[in-house]
Homo-oligomer: A and B are copies of this chain.
């Protein structure tokens, strides 16, 4: 298991990788900011050791190791623990989730990232710190934590856009598709929305709690940043709600379209049958074998029968047309 360490202050930044938690001690500073990142599911033993070194509560360790942990914020004496979900789209356009745990100390942030979601959301930030710096280099560990969370939240919007594009496509097809597979596909989108919602909704409460709390680890100047983050999460949550309504709308349009199309087909078919049934009756009448049927001997009976049938069929067609049945 590898611990990636980045240290920086306004003037400089350096990067290091160590293998054990004990080696981390050597990099502990009182000034500047130290960011320790652990990627992939760490071994429980290594994380236990890290917890000892950094005074992390056993419950936090449990939360870090539990891949299904619900997004939350917890205050401890020495640190603040934030847990949130990163959402990415894998190669097949399937949703992949990763769990990000942040232990925020006075001048250290320890980040844990585990889960299916491929790629590293933090790479861009890492390069920014090691590169020319910018705002993050001028500020403390709390801003680093904010920047990490901001990174994760930013990714929500690309996921939402992808889902939104899918819904729009469904909207275009809703009036045409009549296969029940369409409904099943829509249901899959609904399930995706449910899963994303589960990742995003608790984060709203967590951020609202961060904004309201009065913890010396988060300096006052960070307030607008967290409020901004909160607004973003709210926007994502509202977008989700709108998507749910759109999906419901797509289903209604589709059900109505399927049923209307079916109705039209059945109506046309039934009209055809209904047109011929009286005619078939008439030809049946003159197919009877009674000895005394005067019409049979009448010279113009046959063409007159045809005429009668045409009149009946025409009359019915006109009647159906007038009633606007087809």
Chain A residues with CB under 8 Å of chain B are 57-59, 62-63, 68, 70, 72, 74, 76, 135, 174-175, 178-181, 183-184, 187, 190-191, 194, 198, 201-202, 224-225, 227-228, 231, 234-235, 238, 242, 245-246, 249, 251-253, 255-258, 260-263, 265-267, 269-274, 276-281, 283-293, 295-297, 299-302, 305, 323, 325
Contacts and interface: CB of A to CB of B under 8 A. Distances in A.
Nearest to A267: B265
Contact of A289 (B57, B190, B296, B325): B296
Given A249-B190, A287-B283, A257 B183 contact: yes
A289 B258 CA distance: 46
Given A175-B181, A178-B260, A179-B260, A273 B277 contact: yes
A240 to B, nearest CB: 12
A242 B70 CA distance: 14
A246 B188 CA distance: 10
Contacts of A190: 245, 249
9 contacts: A58-B135, A59-B224, A251-B252, A255-B256, A265-B270, A270-B270, A276-B280, A283-B288, A291-B296
